[in-house]
Amino acid sequence: METTDQPFKEYPPFVRIHNDGTVERHTGTQTLPPSPLSDAGVSSKDVVISPNVSARLYIPHSALSSTKKLPTLVYFHGGGFIIESPFSPHYHPYQDALAAKAGVIIVSVNYRLAPEHQLPAAYDDSWEAIKWTVGLSDEWLRDHADLDRLFLAGDSSGGNIVHQMAMRAGETASSEVRLRGVVLVHPFFWGPNLSDTENEQSGFVEKLWKLFSPDVGAMQSHWVNWEAEGATPLTKLGCRRVMVCVAELDFIKKKGKEYYEALKESGWEGKVELVETEGENHVFHLFKPDCEKARVFMEQVVSFLNQV
């Protein structure tokens, strides 16, 4: 419990912020190293994109001795804009497995986190990583990336980033970022018409939201409410295929479904599909990667990435 004379503020379960500005993260800080050859047959390495942005790259090891071009996926991790990284024990094994099963190159982006770096820092860093990718700025990309099959994917806050990046791609005058499709996994959206479960969580969401965008509440923010003032119309989404994924027990499931319906009805000229996993909660596939429903979900994502 906080008291008025405490030298910090708690934002469970994520962070403690001390009065001197020091941020102490309670979770999402562990890391795993890259691997020249994993058990799944994938090579990974870390790269520096800019002073603010880095990434972990994944490629099926057999592709390194081939001239075959592979679909390219830029991935944005979740963690409420506050915790986690591509290098964590949740994300590294998942990206390793996805690269192997889908036969894709993955650029898993390490963007700056709040509260040290408030929005739109995460969006700006993510866009910088996309431009780095399409610029073929690494030999793995130059030799093996098929930019005609460029995808974005992310979960939770990363799913929100995917939406924002697809909007930027649609608004960009040049055609440097040509997206084949995007995957939003349990995406973080907010806004009016909350369900009973969402209303129970509204205080928690608004309290956290102040850490990364203090000037306006989540309900009114165009970053997470596609109908808010200043939000770009969904018709500007810069791709023609979208996969929206929700989980039955996830408290933000309703907003994910509303996004799916809004996109269908917006006049956007593309195809959107909805995938719902019954009996599971938020990002269950990261916490229980070996369960049957996680395996099924992996196959659904792989199928989307491999469609011609």
Catalytic residues: 156, 250, 282
Q: Which of 88, 72, 240 minimizes the C-alpha distance to 147?
A: 72
The CA distances from residue 292 to 156, 279, 288, 308, in Å, are 21, 12, 9, 26
**CA atoms lying within 13 Å on the CB side of residue 21:** 2
Enumerate the β-bridge partners of residue 244. 184, 274
Torsion, CA 37, CA 40, CA 42, CA 47, rounded to 10: -90
- Kindly write down the DSSP assignment for every residue of the chain, as one continuous string: ---TT-SEEEETTTEEEETTS-EEESSS-------SS-TTSEEEEEEE-SSS-EEEEEEEGGGGGS---EEEEEEE--STTTS--TTSTTHHHHHHHHHHHHT-EEEEEE---TTTS-TTHHHHHHHHHHHHHHTT-SHHHHHHEEEEEEEEEEETHHHHHHHHHHHHHHH-SS-S---SEEEEES-----SS--HHHHHHHHHHHHHHHHH-TTS-GGG-TTT-TTSTTPPPGGG-S-SEEEEEEETT-TTHHHHHHHHHHHHHTT-SSEEEEEEETT--TTHHHH-TTSHHHHHHHHHHHHHHH--
